[in-house]
Structure 1
Amino acid sequence: VGLVDLLGKTGTINTFGEEVQKLDEFANQLLVDTLLTSGAVYAVVSEEMEHPVFAPPSHAGEYLVYIDPIDGSSNIDTNCPIGTIFSVYHKDGGFLQQGNRQVAGGYVMYGSSVMLVYTSGHSVQGFTLEPTGGSFVYSHRNITLPAKGNIYSINEAYETLYDERTRAYLAHLRSLANHTARYVGSLVADAHRTLLKGGIFLYPPNRKQPEGKLRLMLEVNPYALLIEQAGGKAMSGNGKSPLTITPKTVHDRTSLVMGSKENVNLFADFLSA
């Protein structure tokens, strides 16, 4: 699709109080329309909509699909990697299921190449779009995180807002000669690097967002499932896997730390010190 009239802001605010980009709106409508007429989907929950939308009875399927249509939309105008995040549940469990009941979770990243990465609860697989034929090639088989990595990814501009233990952990990382920071500011891009290279991604709570910023059902649960299925570890602010949290609403927020097991365990040690 061309980018004519798809860049810039719409002038509206989404359910999270964020300015909506034109591409957000376009992607949301395209995905919702496609999913609700697929015959497989019962309802869709989107970051861009306050309430779920349901498939017409003639097309109603068995699954609930949760989407962040365009993650990292603030990066659109600068051509940085963005993506679509998705999570799938069976409709019989209702809209407020724990993440460990996901049928599937994953993302599509739009960067130097287009990649689909997903899990159905048994390993993590990656596919790369071959643009000439328009089909996805099975490019990344059984993605597995290394037990330990030397890359950490966090918005250090918020350091003064983090608690003392998180600041101590960051100071420790900076003291290590073999560690380096990488941060794009797009969850899809930063999590993708963490999934492939190992290390740790952190979006901890801070004084302005004590419960965390990321959306539990729309962002955190699919990534926690991916990371754990790839042999890594994910934890929320309570030190436990986000997949064990029972949401109160479909738009609940939480914190997230995930990555290689040794890296995440070290962060947990700092929190409990």
Structure 2
Amino acid sequence: MASQHADTDSTMSGEKVNTNIITLTRFLTEEQTKHKEATGDFTLLCHALQFSFKSIAYYIRRSTLINLTGLAGSANITGDDQKKLDVISNDLFIEAMRSSGKCAVLVSEEEDNVIFFNDGKDARYAVACDPIDGSSNLDAGVSVGTIFAIHKLPEGSKGRKEDILKPGSEQIAAGFTMYGASAQLVITMKGGSVNGFTLDNGLGEFILTHPDMRMPRSRAIYSVNEGNSLYWEENVKSYFNSLKEPQENGKPYSARYIGSMVADAYRTLLYGGIFAYPADKKSPKGKLRILYECAPMAMVFENAGGQAVDSKMTRMLDIVPEDIHDKAGIFMGSYDEVEKVKAFHK
């Protein structure tokens, strides 16, 4: 009788309960079965990643209640003051990778040096991550996120620093989680499509909500910190000035800038347009880190039909970082929008 009631209630309110739910766990398992050579190690590593994202999402939701925002009294390698949540997220990430037994090499934005896990005999992967990207926005409740990239160790390697200083084109998977009104996870595999999941807090599961994400080919939206325009090169200034002029439809571009890379990238991925953080006179190499910000985002954008290049208009996925915290300028977005940027750099 109860089930009959439930049925009538859902039909009365016009809601249909979706029973064909694809969780991230199911998605990863089904992906694994498509590859005969798969050993399940990659899937186990992804489950460890998934656990750390759920934990971070949980702590972010509770952070203002239990006073985890605010400074932790130390600064990280790149000079950012560390938040308590940064520290917690970094610890969670390291522990999740260690206990998975599948990660041999870990690079984190919060750690000066590479972390090696020598206890996992079957560890065949190297992971790079930014545990909390955009943490300066935490106190204001602005969306922050985690960015990650996964590389496979070369045959015979037990894990060395060189195993992760590779171009982004060698990543076997990459993506990010955005902790906003809901936690969104975007993941892509090498040569695969881009899939978006939303964390259902009731179930404690990431549910596939955005299968096979494709970027609009063009869109009149730009996202950049114009406060830096004083330091920009002339062609960068000319490009952004051109967007403020009337376009073919008589209207200029719209500006959208959150100042949290994950949030800006996610919006650009969904709606199209361009996100840029160019190298400039103040930061000649650029501001964003190649290994755990630029390369993973570039892979997501390319696999969704967009493009990502550095300030010299080199394809971002072809750039080999010189050290683990090496930086680059970046322009990424809809295919045609990046083509416009290139035209100004010819």
TM-score when normalising by structure 1 = 0.97
Structure 1 residue aligned with 2:279, among 189, 205, 209?
A: 205
Partner of 1:238: 312
2:174–2:187: 8 Å Cα contact kept in structure 1?
A: yes
Residue 12 in structure 1 maps to residue 12 in structure 2? no
2:175 is paired with a residue whose SS is: strand
* Cα distance, 1:58–1:268 mapped onto 2, change above 3 Å: closer
CA deviation vs aligned residue, 1:243-265 (integer Å, no higher than 9, x gap): 11122111100010010111111
Structure 1 unaligned spans of 5+: none
Residue 118 in structure 1 maps to residue 187 in structure 2? yes
The offset of 1:53, in angstroms, is 1.2
Partner of 1:139: 209
Q: Which has the higher contact order (CA 8 A, sep 6+)?
A: 1
Query: Which of the two has greater strand per residue?
Result: 1
Q: How does 1:25-40 map to 2 (within 5 A)?
A: 25-40=87-102
Aligned length: 272
The offset of 1:59, in angstroms, is 6.2
2:288–2:327: 8 Å Cα contact kept in structure 1?
A: yes
Opposite residue 50 of structure 1, the aligned amino acid is D
Structure 1 residue aligned with 2:84, among 11, 18, 22?
A: 22
Moved more, 24-33 or 51-60: 51-60
- Aligned-residue CA RMSD (Å): 1.2
Residue 45 in structure 1 maps to residue 107 in structure 2? yes
1:37–1:55: 8 Å Cα contact kept in structure 2?
A: no
Structure 2 residue aligned with 1:151, among 213, 221, 246?
A: 221
Structure 2 residue aligned with 1:87, among 149, 157, 163?
A: 149
Larger Rg: 2
Structure 2 unaligned spans of 5+: 1-58, 155-161
Query: Which of the two has greater helix per residue?
Result: 2
The offset of 1:58, in angstroms, is 4.2
The offset of 1:237, in angstroms, is 1.7
Residue 175 in structure 1 maps to residue 175 in structure 2? no
Tell me, in whole angstroms, the C-alpha distance in 2 between the residues paired with 1:58 and 1:195: 36
* Cα distance, 1:59–1:29 mapped onto 2, change above 3 Å: farther
The offset of 1:95, in angstroms, is 2.3
2:310–2:316: 8 Å Cα contact kept in structure 1?
A: yes
1:137 is paired with a residue whose SS is: strand
Instruction: Give % identity.
Output: 39
1:264 is paired with a residue whose SS is: helix
Opposite residue 135 of structure 1, the aligned amino acid is E
Tell me, in whole angstroms, the C-alpha distance in 2 between the residues paired with 1:167 and 1:175: 13
* Cα distance, 1:157–1:58 mapped onto 2, change above 3 Å: closer
